[in-house]
A and B are shown apart, each in its own frame.
Chain A
Amino acid sequence: MSLRLVQELAGHDDRVWSVAWRPGGGPSVLASCSGDKTVRIWEHSPGASPSSATWVCKAVLDSAHTRTVRQCEWCPAGKLLATASFDSTLGMYEKIGTEISFIASFEGHENEVKSVAWNSSGSLLASCSRDKSVWIWEVLPGHEFECVSVLNGHSQDVKMVTWHPSRDILVSASYDNSIKVWAEDVDGDDWRCVQTLAAPGRGHTSTVWGISFNATGDRMVSCSDDLTLMVWDTSADCVSTSADGVAPWKHLTTISGYHDRTIFSVHWSRVNGLIASGAGDDCIRVFDELRDNVSTLPGEGLSYEMVLKQEKAHSTDVNCVRWHPKEPRLLASAGDDGVVKIWELVGGDLPLLSNESLPYDPRG
């Protein structure tokens, strides 16, 4: 397997922090955000083959923030785009037809907001910040956003938040080397931390930069400054901690020995089951589960192998890698070099995971 560069998307004036594919129908749309305080919207030519170099920049969104835009995320319906900025606010844009307009910004965090994420239904938004807190917001009609919960628990900067693909379970990754799992109280009054994945149990030994769920949400992968990826598994209910204190998420395996610089981003494809990583050594790597090694017990003896390494994917750090939500062979990346790249995975048999993963239909 290898990566073929489909197109390089230049335009940002500063490092690109993150990219987000727009869910939903129509031509592929990618949003990217940068240290230049803007978000750029890139659109693929309708009707062209998915791997054609027909991407153009459709819009530059600069109304929301006065400092770096660290992350941007589309809501599941693809209508709203939320942004997280170092100016301590969150921004919200709405896409109506081909127009994208700024609709709201909301304050609350004490300082730099590092990440923003939508839950699977699009009713809740989570954000996290250098102020060590994780916030949950509810999306109300009329562009209103209300704070549902302010969660403290991390002892340092929180780098990323992400939601379970189908349930209202939130995970956060922090500079304090831990991953925390959050869920709503039984009485629905507030949220709380239900599990911490960190030492003294199995856990990363340095900053956890990113985290990503697989398609079904029974596994997640985390990436860290400790140069490893860790795969976590929950075969059972992921909220309740059983009476004997057995933690529902278990460390499954550590993917080590491949990276020699900080791993800034990891993404588990919900279409092809592959894990991509982006790191400080400018490389993109792709990992796959070793499938011929299946043992009888789930999770046992399981391991992941690197199936490709793209050297010099960017001329400096790779900050973000994201698989296309439908196209099994498309991957986007963002780097400190200020560019966004669209890649095509060539060669190899790709396992297709769900019926959602139908190939892109140019007419659809």
Chain B
Amino acid sequence: MSANFSVKVGRHNDFISPSQACVVSLNSLKKSSPQAFDDDGLVQIQSKKLLNPDFNQASALSKSDPVKVSLHDCLACSGCITSAETVLIEQQSTGEFLSQLDTGKKAVVVSLSPQSRASLAAYYGVTPLQAFKKFTGFMKSIGVRAVFDTSCSRDLSLIESCKEFVTRFRDNKNLPILASACPGWVCYAEKTHGADILPHISAVKSPQQAMGAIVKRYACSSLGLQPEDIYHVTVMPCYDKKLEASREDFVFSGEVNEETDGPQMTEVDCVLTTTEVLDLLATKSADFTALEEAPLDRLLANVDESEQLFGVQGGSGGYAECIFRYAASVLFGKEVTGPLKFKVLRNSDFQETSLEIGGKPVLQFACVYGFRNIQNLVRRIKSGKCEYHYVEIMACPSGCLNGGGQIKPRKGQSAKDLIQLIEVTYANDIEIRDPFSNKITQGLYDQWLGHPGSAKACEIMQTQYHSREKTVGSYISDW
């Protein structure tokens, strides 16, 4: 559990941290002392005895005002593998969230991820259902209009992913398909691998962005609201989700009328991590365990009449498993029942499974989590030696339940013990159900998107990726 290129948080050292200084701020150094750069834009530091770029930048920065870096800068920049956590925390924070509630201008809607729910449940020693209800109670008590569950939008994302897979498999195009639900991975691929890898990444939106689209482009009317009147907050297991939410690809235009072009809106306005929920509780002096268990908003939540939570298997969204079953059935007429058997390869974060017909593997799927394993996979794809048809890639070792924004181990609890506890809690009292059988997603197709894989579904549920140019920061020379 040591390696991750996900956004680093605070003093926790289990992530690859951003580069030693933000390059965007370094550019101000470039302006002030052009001789520090040679013609190629490379920084030439002459004396290794005295200087290290850290030292350089630090001193240059301390002289000038702190440079403001926006999330957009970060997304377009390859200075850090993802970006600096300070930038993320500043722009989508509990403070922002609370002030939205205070002004009361917009209706605040919160979507909770099942991973964050499991983290809260494990931390407070309650069941996921109890955690969900208490969380709902708390949010409602501070003025939130509705609390949804991203397992629900995830089902939509899974269905679209199944459709996408079958189409690409039949066309034999850009295989393997690489999962797109993890922004840590997507951002890294955009910044370091560009055209070699991006065509492989599934075009389907992540559960967070799928929820954003549903809330702002469809469900708002059920709440009697215009999309621009909604402030949509998600609660997620990592900081990378903040970066994802601020991608320009997720900006859409509201209705056009005679006077305006239609307002520009983002699907998700603010992402809070699970740990930030703890901060919120502390700010409001709320004791989570003592909170009332409020009724759930069943409009967009995977919970049935009898308060049974349901969803798919797998702490990182169950993409590989779900698509595997669908493809086996649709493409090869094989119904795969019972739990899928995954073979552990180099380590527990690298597993594969296959469907064999007549002793020949016809479907080969893998789950590849964590930086070290992603490295090997990417190398194999680049050299044309990758046999997989689909790979569920997650940046965090152990996947999303171990995200960088999850609640940290309690004193004396090891990281390994905690992740095991969360895994058990996550699977606890959740009934495994096929996304295609979900009544909510069925309703969304019937009333809004048409059918799975329809032109409308693709337009709303798919996105794009962009190679990021290498920036000067990648070439700072030192010794």
**What residues make up the interface of A, taking CB atoms closer than 8 Å to B?**
86, 88, 106-108, 110-112, 130-133, 135, 146-153, 155-157, 159, 175, 189-192, 207, 225, 261-262, 280, 317
Contacts and interface: CB of A to CB of B under 8 A. Distances in A.
Contacts of B72: none
Contact of B20 (A108, A152, A156): A156
Nearest to B78: A110
Given A157-B52, A190-B1, A146 B474 contact: no
Interface stretch (B11-19, B331-339, B420-428): B11-19
Contacts of A317: 48-49
Given A146-B346, A189-B347, A262 B49 contact: yes
Contacts of B81: 110
Contacts of B59: none
Nearest to A146: B376
Contacts of B397: 190
Contact of A175 (B49, B52, B375): B52
Interface in B429-479: 474-479
A317 B47 CA distance: 11
A149 B476 contact: no
A110 B371 CA distance: 12
A106 B479 CA distance: 21
A132 B477 contact: no
Tell me if B's interface is mostly helix, strand, loop or mixed: loop
* Residue of B348, B476, B477 with most partner-chain A CB within 10 A: B477
B375 to A, nearest CB: 4
A280 B16 contact: no
Contacts of A156: 20, 52, 54
Interface in B1-15: 1-3, 13-15
Contact of A111 (B14, B19, B372): B19
23 contacts: A107-B379, A108-B375, A110-B19, A112-B478, A130-B20, A130-B478, A131-B16, A132-B16, A132-B17, A133-B3, A146-B376, A147-B372, A148-B346, A149-B3, A151-B2, A152-B3, A152-B13, A152-B14, A152-B16, A152-B17, A156-B52, A190-B347, A317-B49
Q: Which 9 A-B pairs have the closest CB atoms?
A: A150-B3, A147-B375, A147-B372, A150-B372, A146-B376, A150-B371, A189-B347, A108-B375, A147-B376
Contacts of B478: 112, 130, 157
Nearest to B3: A150
A7 to B, nearest CB: 27
Contacts, number: 85
Interface of B: 1-3, 13-17, 19-20, 48-49, 52-54, 81, 192, 346-348, 371-373, 375-376, 379, 397, 474-479
Contacts of B19: 110-111, 131
Interface of A is mostly: loop
Contacts of B375: 108, 147, 150
Nearest to B476: A111
B15 to A, nearest CB: 7
A106 B379 CA distance: 8
Contacts of A135: 372
Given A157-B52, A189-B347, A111 B474 contact: yes
A135 B2 CA distance: 12
B52 A150 contact: no
A133 B53 CA distance: 17
A280 B50 CA distance: 11
A320 to B, nearest CB: 13
B1 to A, nearest CB: 7
Contacts of B2: 149-153, 190-192
Contacts of B16: 110, 131-133, 150, 152
Given A130-B476, A152-B13, A156-B54, 11 more contacts: A130-B53, A130-B478, A133-B3, A146-B346, A149-B3, A149-B372, A152-B14, A155-B17, A157-B478, A175-B54, A261-B49
